[in-house]
Structure 1
Amino acid sequence: MKENRFDRFKFQPFIIEAINHFGFYEPTEIQERMIPLVLKEESAIGQSQTGTGKTLAFVLPILEKINTQRQEVQAVITAPTRELASQIYHQILKITEHCNPEQSIMTRCYIGGTDKQRTIEKLKVQPHIVVGTPGRINDLIADQALFVHTAGILVVDEADMMLDMGFIEDLDRVAARMPENLQMLVFSATIPEKLKPFLKKYMENPKTIQIEAKQKAAENLEHFLLPSRHRNKKQLVLDALLAYNPYLAIVFTNTKKMAEDVARFLNEKGLKVGRVHGDLNPRERKKMMKQIQDLEYQYIVATDLASRGIDIEGISHVINYELPSDLDFYIHRVGRTARAGNTGIALTIYELSDEDALNRLEKMGIQFKYVDLKKEGFVEADERNKRKTRVRQEDEADKLAKSIIKKPQKVKPGYKKKMQWEMDKIKKRQRRLNQKKK
């Protein structure tokens, strides 16, 4: 039997049993460094890229610390979206399934779009762990239905996204109702300046765990660039999806309106397409997520809500209909595929105006391959900067030839022609050298 390196954390048997059941044998770096801090009741900030296993980095030690003899709230876990909160909740349920029935850990999920009155009625018995969105948790506290003054742990997941979505005030109200010696665990891709006053208010000398990406995207992920060249981009997306015939593909747009436009176009062309964006009401979103998880769709069109807030299993292809303005979201988007050792393909349809963004992505370590779409499918294409490189090399060869061939002091008829012939010879030789280097 393979050695499980989680054993050294001395977790309770039900946690080890769950880890073995999932087939996890080696903690990720964020888990390796964060779990001991959580067990020692230290506050900490974890910065790591998507797909590094941060959820288990806080879920496992929190479950270890729950005292089932106390029927009160002991940990509050907050997330910026309903989908992400639901995802964390179901991850906890999968682990607590292995609990001894006499010592079961009660976890509840509180998110908008659910019947608030029914939730309040069920809160006559307080859960051990609360998972949810800050707004709904704060509402239940204000209604004196949920009591968090007994909870010693507060988790803030995707903190920068919390800031962007305007949830910091709700978080502040929740944290203010919790004990003074609160253990706060914050997870975020970045720590914006505007987030720092909130962190300083509740965290005294927190440990910071920063996991530098060894590379910005997964090893088994290929990045392709497809030039739009003034072609109809929606048609290009359709042709790309048909050429790939993916197991499950997600097409990213920057706006909800564009997501609807692209989805409508693909539907009209005969593809069954799921939509994930902020304009769906809670019931529609819940229904859509269930249909996606049940593999009713082969194609999904989404905004960046889905790149960080939702974990959709089995995505084989990611298509960027347009590049995000915040390039970190490129990493989050493509991080939806090539997970858990699987391979993945990320295709970006680019325009001339994307030149600067593509240069920055290349500096971040993304290595692009160039393709075009023909009737026969995908074909290799020239790099977008090939012409620039060629022009630059011609200029350099011209300068070199001019520096070598000087105008003679005594000129004879036809000297200009002879000089040009000599310069052309040097340029030709230089071109051959450049070709050899290439």
Structure 2
Amino acid sequence: MSFENLGLSAAILKAVAKQGYDTPSPIQAQAIPAVLKRQDVMAAAQTGTGKTAGFTLPILELLSQGTPAKRGYVRTLVLTPTRELAAQVQESVATYGKHLPLKSAVVFGGVSIQPQLAALKNGVDILVATPGRLLDLYQQRAINFDHLEILVLDEADRMLDMGFIRDIRKILSFLPAKRQNLMFSATFSDDIRELAKGLVNNPVEISVTPRNSTANSVEQSIYAIDKTRKSAALIELIKINDWHQVLVFSRTKHGANRLAKSLETAGISAVAIHGNKSQTARTKALADFKRGAAQVMVATDIAARGIDIDQLPFVVNFDLPQVPEDYVHRIGRTGRAGASGQAVSLVSEEEGKLLREIEKLIKRQISRNVLPGFEANFNLADTQLTSGAAKKSTGRSTNSRTKSSASGQDNKIHQRRSNKGEQKSQGGHSTSESAATNNRPPRRQKPLVDLGPKFANRAQTPKSTEPATDNKASKTRNPKPQKAQTAEGVASTQKVDPYANARLKLKSKE
């Protein structure tokens, strides 16, 4: 099948041909016809499958057949989780819509809002946005969605992971009910399907890659490396293999900065990209990496979303991701469009559990290798791969054991607290009775001294509790507070009236 068979106009086909494409990818072959029929779509497609063109091309076709956007209005909204991905989608729109009389814009945070306000003033046919900046613009009444025709959620799973669910629901409340909805996600998790319930209507479901699988074109390998020697090992691998255009994943922003500095010190040009970098710095770093000015780019997971580099040859996991699914996202950056790629992971002893979780997820054992001169003082055990059902069962039992263990610790603490409560309680009440008693507000105990006429209605001094001799108390100028036991066994403090005994003697004489 060729793009000519998909029902696209000559103007779009011309732009596609100029990019060197003649055959649609599997996701494009399935998504484009469905979108052109104005059907809602749920597509499971990982990075590098051509999913961006899968919705960009048919949207351009549909919009070119309608009325251009009016002043202040938006016809299509594309939501993305990160600035980099938003810029990538906008670039795709501009590239394939080059020969069409359509207007597009991209808005995201980290840059001045004024140019974005100006771009939206006359209306746009396609708006690519991140949720936060979109809400800012909407609150400033810079956007009107009354004429919205199409909504796209790109990398919906990542938006949920990043905590955008509330922003997404808020944005959905602004949009007209009658619209076409397209949702693209790496996986169809339960959370994604829950979100889809209130979004898509009788969608066409498309899945071009088995869930949580990795491309066969990516060669995966592991090196067991002591944690303190990872930087040196990475430098060794890059130098002895003469690697260029290496995307390295770091778990933290500070770790990315440290690693980039270590590489620079070793004579390897490197840049770091993460959330603490300004948008200008991130754009420059990505541009330097793409054109080869930087040999290595160290990135965090969130910052790497949207990085689209054709035929990226190497991906290195300097730190294994905490979430196994992120491993699939990471190595999906290489081995695209049929090209080969290499994914290398440097695994410390502490990351053994994370490795096992990843291998269970992708249902394959990753090749273990040894880097001469960096032999680790530990071994990475093979992962016992199980069937999907058995794996899920194991996961549940593990969770049960964890919860049971935590519950057992809580019970021990509760028991110790209960025992203390029983020792303090009167009458030998049971633990449950003691707990019930403790839930009641404490009773006010009668003080052991006369508080004077002002408090006569609140407390009376019982005769039986009068101290036999209290001369010291009466002679003391600044008596110490006296503690009285409350109903809960907690000592409360009452100040002693220095004239109490004098009043008692006067009463006895009367």
Give distance in 1, aligned partners of 2:111 and 2:380: 49
Q: What displacement does 1:311 show?
A: 1.4
**SS of aligned partner of 1:301:** strand
Match of 1:91 in 2: 92
Which of the pair has more CA radius of gyration? 2
Match of 2:229 in 1: 232
**SS of aligned partner of 1:36:** helix
Aligned residue type for 1:15: I
Match of 2:271 in 1: 274
Q: What displacement does 1:221 show?
A: 2.1
Please list, as runs of the form range in 1=range in 2, the aligned pairs for 1:181-220 lying within 5 A after superposition: 181-213=178-210, 216-220=213-217
Give distance in 2, aligned partners of 1:299 and 1:329: 20
Match of 2:284 in 1: 287
Taking structure 2 as the reference length, the TM-score comes to: 0.68
Match of 2:166 in 1: 169
The reply on whether 1:82 has 2:79 as its aligned counterpart is no
On the 8 A contact 2:151/2:182 being kept in 1, the answer is yes
On the 8 A contact 2:222/2:368 being kept in 1, the answer is yes
Give distance in 2, aligned partners of 1:209 and 1:118: 37
- Counterpart of 1:140 (choices 118, 131, 137) is 137
Give distance in 1, aligned partners of 2:115 and 2:22: 40
Cα separation, partners in 2 of 1:152 and 1:174, compared to 1, 3 Å:
same
CA root-mean-square deviation: 2.6
Q: What displacement does 1:267 show?
A: 2.2
Match of 1:246 in 2: 243
On the 8 A contact 1:370/1:383 being kept in 2, the answer is no
Match of 2:345 in 1: 348
Choose 79-88 or 129-138, whichever is displaced more.
129-138
Match of 2:372 in 1: 374
Match of 2:120 in 1: 123
**SS of aligned partner of 1:202:** coil
On the 8 A contact 1:307/1:336 being kept in 2, the answer is no
**SS of aligned partner of 2:371:** strand
Match of 1:26 in 2: 23
**SS of aligned partner of 2:175:** coil
Choose 40-49 or 303-312, whichever is displaced more.
303-312
- Counterpart of 2:108 (choices 104, 108, 111) is 111
Deviation string for 1:223-248 (max 9, x for gaps)? 12111146611111111111222121
Q: What displacement does 1:159 show?
A: 0.8
**SS of aligned partner of 2:124:** coil
Q: What displacement does 1:204 show?
A: 2.8
Q: What displacement does 1:330 show?
A: 1.3
On the 8 A contact 2:289/2:296 being kept in 1, the answer is no
Give distance in 2, aligned partners of 1:170 and 1:8: 39
Please list, as runs of the form range in 1=range in 2, the aligned pairs for 1:11-90 lying within 5 A after superposition: 11-67=8-64, 69-72=67-70, 73-90=74-91
Aligned residue type for 1:39: L
Aligned residue type for 1:126: G
Structure 2 unmatched runs, 5+:
385-510
Q: What displacement does 1:162 show?
A: 1.0
Give distance in 2, aligned partners of 1:202 and 1:314: 35
Q: What displacement does 1:251 show?
A: 1.3
Choose 254-263 or 349-358, whichever is displaced more.
349-358
Match of 1:158 in 2: 155
Taking structure 1 as the reference length, the TM-score comes to: 0.79
**SS of aligned partner of 2:91:** helix
Aligned residue type for 1:123: L
- Counterpart of 2:325 (choices 324, 328, 342) is 328
**SS of aligned partner of 1:108:** strand
Deviation string for 1:399-436 (max 9, x for gaps)? xxxxxxxxxxxxxxxxxxxxxxxxxxxxxxxxxxxxxx
Between the aligned residues of both structures, percent identity stands at 32
Q: What displacement does 1:384 show?
A: 4.7
Count of residue pairs the alignment pairs up: 376
Aligned residue type for 2:258: D
Give distance in 2, aligned partners of 1:165 and 1:200: 20
Cα separation, partners in 2 of 1:242 and 1:43, compared to 1, 3 Å:
same
Aligned residue type for 1:373: L
Give distance in 2, aligned partners of 1:215 and 1:374: 32
Deviation string for 1:14-40 (max 9, x for gaps)? 111122222323222222222222112
On the 8 A contact 1:250/1:317 being kept in 2, the answer is yes
Give distance in 1, aligned partners of 2:220 and 2:170: 43
On the 8 A contact 1:157/1:187 being kept in 2, the answer is yes
Structure 1 unmatched runs, 5+:
389-438
On the 8 A contact 2:315/2:342 being kept in 1, the answer is yes
Cα separation, partners in 2 of 1:254 and 1:34, compared to 1, 3 Å:
same
On the 8 A contact 2:8/2:61 being kept in 1, the answer is yes
Cα separation, partners in 2 of 1:270 and 1:212, compared to 1, 3 Å:
closer
Match of 1:402 in 2: none
Aligned residue type for 2:267: G
Cα separation, partners in 2 of 1:139 and 1:223, compared to 1, 3 Å:
same
**SS of aligned partner of 1:155:** strand
